[in-house]
Amino acid sequence: MSKSRELKYTCPYCGREFDITVYESVNTETDPDLRDACLSGDIFRHSCPHCHTDFMVQYPLVYADPKHKFVLWLSQGTGEEAAMRASARPLLKQGYRLRRCATVREFTEKIQIFEDGVSDIAVELAKYDSFIEFIDSRNGNPQDVTSVEYQNVSDGVMKINVRTDDKGLSFLIPLNLLEEEIRAESDRFEINEEDFPLINSDWIISLFMESSGQA
């Protein structure tokens, strides 16, 4: 069952206080309507009743999807690690994948990745390779890239979008090639799911920096 609570919130724009509803946990089996709100990010969007400004509020949230067997913990690391680790082992025995997400963008993308039945390790590897290829092929500046996004997997091919302010480029990468690279370097890509690992762009970059002696 999903769990929510009311709290007082001060508008960052007008400084006036009002009540908002925040969810501490979401279970897509008991509350399937909340799945769409999480995937779109709408669950974090609020509007001030005084100045009518819309904004997002990120707060810790545990998202459980029993159908696709994954649990996401949206948190920037706020001292709840011990409690989450205590819940990890029973979930792993039931076949769940466990991840922490540092941002709403990571959280929403991870939902799509796991609903598609794809390894997020393969996705981060594909995003990293696509970023490098974009810079090399376009002689571009890494600072110009605004986002590198997972799009989907179709017929065994993963689509990654690399975007800048005024343009973008899509890359199509065979899923089997990504899986082969991960198997060939299994030690590099090994993770401990009991820790609710943070598998994102910072994580994949750190792996390649370590291998090149730059960590």
Count CA within 13 A, CB hemisphere, residue 119: 17
Structure tokens at 94: 């039931």
Q: Is the pLDDT of residue 201 over 70?
A: yes
DSSP structure class, residue 32: T
> What was the pLDDT predicted at 53?
97
Q: Quickly state the pLDDT bin for 81 (edges 50, 70, 90).
A: confident
Structure tokens at 135: 């810079």
The 10s digit of each residue's pLDDT in 27-45 is 999 999 999 999 999 999 9
Structure tokens at 170: 């899509």
The 10s digit of each residue's pLDDT in 3-24 is 999 999 999 999 999 999 999 9
Q: Quickly state the pLDDT bin for 214 (edges 50, 70, 90).
A: low
The 10s digit of each residue's pLDDT in 146-168 is 999 999 999 999 999 999 887 88
> What was the pLDDT predicted at 212?
57
Signed CA dihedral, 194, 200, 206, 209: sign only: positive
Contact predicate 120/198, CB 8 Å: no
Q: Is the pLDDT of residue 213 over 60?
A: no
Q: Which amino acid is it at 125?
A: L
From the list 49, 54, 46, 53, the residue with the least C-alpha distance to 22 is 46
The H or E element spanning position 21 is: strand 17-27
Provide the residue ranges of all domains of the chain, joining segments of one domain with +. Answer: 3-115, 120-211
pTM here is 0.91
Contact predicate 196/100, CB 8 Å: yes
> What was the pLDDT predicted at 144?
87
> What was the pLDDT predicted at 143?
86
